[in-house]
Amino acid sequence: MQNLDTVLQGTKRELIKLKKEKEVFTELERKEENFNKIIESIEGLERTKRETNRKKRDSLDKYYDPGKYDTAFYYVKSIEENNIKRTENFNPGISEKCPDCGKEALALMSYSQTYDSPEGDTWEKEAFIIHCDKIHYLKKIARSNRFL
């Protein structure tokens, strides 16, 4: 005859194993997301530069509105109390120490409209560095209007 107590104990053991595997999976997903963000940031920096320069060359071309329909990326000139300022002409700016290894890494920033409604918008800037295969966030600022 089936012993339900044995079934219960066996199921509990399997559940504990499964939970450990899920933790590993969650960690891998976090890593994957992190890698995607690194790629998005570096490719985004190139794309923002390209779009900005295209606008300068051809004034008849469609107006590029950084951060409106994409996330724009820049190098950081300064991180202030209430603002993160970008450098001009995509020149590298300040560096910050990596919290993992202590080496200096170029500060980057993202800029985008994260909310759009008749009642009000939200525009966000976020400064970060990429080092030791990770994104390390430095500061995040939000406002209700464009503030490049």
Closest residue by Cα to residue 77 from 132, 125, 145: 125
| 100 binds Zn ion per the rule CB under 5 A | yes
Which of 38, 90, 96, 98 contacts Zn ion by CB under 5 A? 98
Count of residues touching Zn ion (by CB under 5 A): 5
Termini Cα distance of the chain: 73
In this chain, which stretch among 30-38, 41-49, 127-135, 136-144 interacts with Zn ion, using CB under 5 A?
127-135
Contact between 105 and 95 (Cβ < 8 Å): yes
**Of the candidates 18, 39, 42, 132, which one interacts with Zn ion according to CB under 5 A?**
132
Q: Which is nearer to Zn ion, 10 or 99 (CB)?
A: 99
C-alpha closest to that of 38 among 137, 119, 140, 146: 137
Residues in contact with Zn ion by CB under 5 A are 98, 100-101, 131-132
